Structure 1
Amino acid sequence: MTNQTTEAADTGTGAPDAVERELLDFLQGHTGTPWEPETDLFRTGGLSSLFAMQLVVHLEKTYGVAIRGADLRMDNFRTARVMAALVGRLKEPRPGGLDG
């Protein structure tokens, strides 16, 4: 799993497919359950509030993003696909060259 995390982080762009695959591996490694990209992790009981915070830290460290304020909404963490999209959005350059 370390290699997959490193490969995903090395993409630099946080390409949604690579991020999604890495997140599914991360989730399976921590829960022992294989997950589909569109599975609602909260509704199925796959994501507790404590694990959600671990996931935020994982995303920030792995992809070099800062998840703050309005981005910390539960809806941004419901599925691996939604989280991959969040990473992609946060990796986009901000107007004026400011990263947040």
Structure 2
Amino acid sequence: MTDDIVKTVRGFISEHVRDTELTDDHDIFATGSVSSLFAVQLVMWVERTFGIAVQPTDLDIENFRTVNDVVRFVASRQAATPA
């Protein structure tokens, strides 16, 4: 399941990264690889794609900085959601 999340997140982020090769630990915000507007787009995409609600307390850049951060965040929210 996590491999599918990694592929999905990597695919979405790689469509928006400028002038760099994306690795799963590449900090897309610190390096200026994406615009600040992308943060909002990323949060909305995560909610839509994975069917999870991102709460105000989740809006920490540490949850969205890298592919691996997004994957960890999504996996943690999916694990916390009752089936």
Q: Distance in 1 between matches of 2:72 and 2:2?
A: 6
1:59 aligned residue: 46
Is residue 28 of structure 1 aligned with residue 14 of structure 2?
A: yes
Residues 39, 50 of structure 1: CA spacing in aligned structure 2 closer, same or farther, 3 A cutoff? same
User: Which of 55, 76, 79 matches 1:92?
Assistant: 79
TM-score by length of structure 1 reads 0.71
Which 5+ residue runs of structure 2 have no aligned equivalent? none
| Bigger CA radius of gyration | 1
Structure 1: which 4+ aligned runs deviate by more than 2 Å? 30-34
- The amino acid of 1:26's aligned partner reads F
Contact 1:24-1:34 at 8 Å conserved across structures: no
Which 5+ residue runs of structure 1 have no aligned equivalent? 1-14
- The amino acid of 2:37's aligned partner reads L
Contact 1:76-1:82 at 8 Å conserved across structures: yes
Percent identity between matched residues is 33
TM-score by length of structure 2 reads 0.84
Q: Distance in 1 between matches of 2:30 and 2:3?
A: 23
Whichever structure has more helix as a proportion of its residues is: 1
Q: Which runs of structure 2 are paired with 1:42-57 in the superposition (5 Å)? A: 42-57=29-44
Contact 2:47-2:53 at 8 Å conserved across structures: yes
CA RMSD of aligned residues (A): 1.9
Equivalent residue of 2:15, what SS? Answer: helix
- Counting matched residue pairs gives 82
Give CA-to-partner distance per residue, 1:75-98, whole Å, 9 cap, x none: 11111001001001111145xx5x
